[in-house]
Amino acid sequence: MLILGIESSCDDAAAAVIETERPGVAAIRSSVIANQDEIHRRYGGIVPELASRNHVITILPVIEQTLEAAGCGLGDLGGIAVTRGPGLVGSLLVGLMCAKGLAQSLGLAMVGVNHIEGHLLAPLLEHRPVMPFLALVVSGGHTELFVVENFGRYRRLGRTRDDAAGEAFDKVAKLMGLGYPGGRIIDELARRGNRKRVRIPRARVRGAPLDFSFSGVKTAMAALLRTEAGAAAAHEDLAASFQEAVVEMLVGPALCAAREAGLKVIALTGGVAANSRLRERLSEAAAAQGREVIAPSLKYCTDNAAMIAMAGSYRLLRGERDSLGIDAEAALRL
């Protein structure tokens, strides 16, 4: 079955075609993403109204491009999977309305997908992890630990109490005047920096070892940048020291969760999973305990539609479909 995935929950408009006959086993025929970084850069963050207006312009060309790259037409599709939340409601609506229009006019089954489920199942696009496995979802909007027990069965073990890790990267990059989005810039600078140059306190949530908190490191960086020593430190060293703190605060709870739940495989997913130091530290620490880390390639870590197609595919393969009456939900829960 060929499945068209559509994703527009935030600032990327994406479409993908996957081919699948069995839940969790799929070939990616194509994946196209229209990135809006250029548009939001001058504001130092995503402007929701601009994001949705641009989705209106790009979503159909993105779908056309992905079909062409997949070498198929609308008539070859067996179903459509579309993100219905969580996310920016205006952005979500563009993809969802587009999916509904296509489903109605082509007589196709359509399923609405939770964006987080997309990130949780993204590792299946390129790996064959045996369930249950642990998933650390780290993005601009989420930092959560889940046990992926089976398709549609996810148990949350931990979550951030305040900022998401990606948000902390982006906000600190903004404080340092590095540009947007900050995660990738900090990652690159940090490669040339001294991780021990400045000491950033690591935060823990008392009584909740599997939860995260990143607002403290952000405030610590803001305070440091106001001091003479902070202002004089090289950007490379500041980036490396900050990144090391965030990475340690992610690795600790993830390993603790894997140990407590007795899981051998840890899947690292979401935009921050692109971070080179996080991949390195988590893999090393997991290997020392006889565990394995799997992570999607960079293009399937950040928002994409192949993961949405994957997350919708097991339901479409079962013959399920959602009513065309489903709505976008900004705070949709898993």
Binding-site ranges for ligand KG4 (CB under 6 A): 10, 139-141, 166, 169-170, 181-184, 187, 270-272, 274-275, 302-303
Interface with Zn ion by CB under 5 A: which range of 182-190, 247-255, 277-285, 303-311? 303-311
Nearer to Zn ion, 241 or 275 (CB): 275
CA-CA distance, 118 to 137, in Å (whole number)?
10
Query: Are residues 275 and 89 in contact, defined by beta-carbon separation less than 8 angstroms?
Result: no
Return the one option of Zn ion, ligand KG4, none that residue 244 interacts with (CB less than 5 to 8 A, by type). none
The DSSP output letter for 212 is B
Closer CB to ligand KG4, residue 214 or residue 314?
214
- Report if residue 303 touches Zn ion, rule: CB under 5 A: yes
Q: Is 244 in the site for Zn ion (CB under 5 A)?
A: no
Alpha carbons within 13 angstroms on the beta-carbon side of residue 197 total 22
Q: Give the integer Cα–Cα distance in Å for 135 and 257.
A: 10
Say how far apart CA 220 and CA 193 lie, in whole Å: 19
Q: Of 144 and 237, which CB lies nearer to Zn ion in the complex structure?
A: 144
Residue 14 CB, nearest approach to ligand KG4 (Å): 10
C-beta of 164 vs 224, nearer to Zn ion: 164
CB of 139 to ligand KG4, least distance (A): 3
Nearer to Zn ion, 89 or 261 (CB): 89
Q: Is 175 exposed, middle or buried (0-12, 13-18, 19+ CB in 10 A)?
A: middle
Phi and psi at 2, nearest 5°, equal: -95, 125
- Tell me which residues touch Zn ion (CB under 5 A): 139, 303
